Amino acid sequence: MDRIILRDLAFFAYHGVYQEEASLGQRFYFDLDCYTDLRPAGISDDENDTVRYDHIAKRVENIVLNKRFNLIEALAEAVAKDLLTNMDKLQKVRVRVRKPAAPIAAIVKDIAVEIKRTRKDYIK
């Protein structure tokens, strides 16, 4: 299946278990693979035949900036659910949420979770 890929989509937000995360905030990075059939758009060259990546980014931004999550697992799940239930042409998504400033006593590039969901996970 074809996919639309967004890498390093970044937002400054206030998610996390600890009070400092809620008050100080930090950057969150998203890597998204959005699976859909791109053939109709490839043939027609019409934006109405595809899933617009600016619409994907806007939906993610709305969740990240307007809801609060303790866990990046819950944040990833909310993004996957929103995309698959509101964008009819999407069949499957892979959502990776990276948190480079996670408050742990270790030196790491980032902490991340990755989930894969299909439309069937939310729409019966």
| Residue 79 near residue 63, CB atoms below 8 Å | yes
Q: Is 99 a catalytic residue?
A: yes
Measured distance CA(39)–CA(36) in Å, rounded: 9
| Helix segments in 1-124, DSSP class H | 19-24, 39-44, 53-66, 72-86
Rounded distance, CA 30 to CA 97, Å?
5
Q: Which of 67, 81, 92, 99 is catalytic?
A: 99
- Tell me how far CA of residue 108 lies from CA of 18, 26, 36, 40, in angstroms: 18, 15, 34, 42
Catalytic residue positions? 99
